[in-house]
Copies of this chain bind each other. A is one copy, B any other.
Amino acid sequence: MWQEVSEVVARSLLVSGTATVLAASWSIPTAMFLAEKESAFRRVLLDVSNTLVGVPTVLIGLILYLLLSRSGPLGFFGLLYTPASIVAGEAILITPLIVSLSASVLREKRAEVWEMALSMGATERQASATMVAESLPRLLTAVLLGFNRAIGELGVALMLGGNIKGFTRVMTTAIALEVSRGEFELALTLGGVLLVVVFGITAIVRKVGKAG
């Protein structure tokens, strides 16, 4: 039993970790774009992002399911019911969260540091990098919150992964299964394990962020 649990934990970490890295790779540039200047367009984008922070995971799951399904436009990739599809779904799910949080972090530092960087001869790209470097600990927190959200979400993992034992079963789908089986104690135990693991990661990331 514990071997199976640790396998599921490892899969959860891998899947959500990959999703987080992916999501961060496009979310932080997006946030930089949104934070750079005020404009009606960017404000609407930010509203959209804030809205999507709360998009129901079943909805994302459903939309991606329809895309990835055999009869869907992306069906030929054969991604449905694979860990890759959970990665994709979770990456999309947490993108708005990371974008919103990062944009607000970067916006705070914007004017001053940006001006200083440009006036010291930085290219816009270098100035952006400086902004990110200056906000690093708080950006890291934004990304961490994204990861925590991803590893704790159920709808996407269930609809896209299918909770296939030994292949796409992650912590949350395992917990949900035990709940629907009436095995509440087991579900609580799994939940405890998940939280302990996530807490460990959170504490480590905070330490690293401080050191960096």
**CB within 8 Å of B: which residues of A?**
43-44, 46-48, 50-59, 62-63, 66, 97, 100-101, 104-105, 108, 138, 141, 144-145, 147-155, 159, 171-172, 175-176, 179, 184, 187-188, 191, 194-195, 198-199, 202-203, 206
Contact A50:B184 (CB < 8 A) given known A58-B176, A154-B58: no
Query: This chain: how many copies in the complex?
Result: 2
**A66 proximity list for chain B (CB < 8 A):** 184
Give A145 Cβ to nearest chain B Cβ, in Å: 5
**A175 proximity list for chain B (CB < 8 A):** 56, 58-59, 62
Q: Which residue of B lies closest to A200 (CB)?
A: B51
- Cβ-defined contact, B202 with A51, below 8 A: yes
- Cβ-defined contact, B198 with A54, below 8 A: yes
**A47 proximity list for chain B (CB < 8 A):** 199, 202-203, 206
State the CA gap A135–B176 with chains docked (Å): 39
Residue in B97, B100, B176, B199 whose CB lies within 8 Å of A48: B199
Contact A172:B48 (CB < 8 A) given known A53-B148, A155-B154: no
- Cβ-defined contact, B187 with A53, below 8 A: no
- Cβ-defined contact, B58 with A206, below 8 A: no
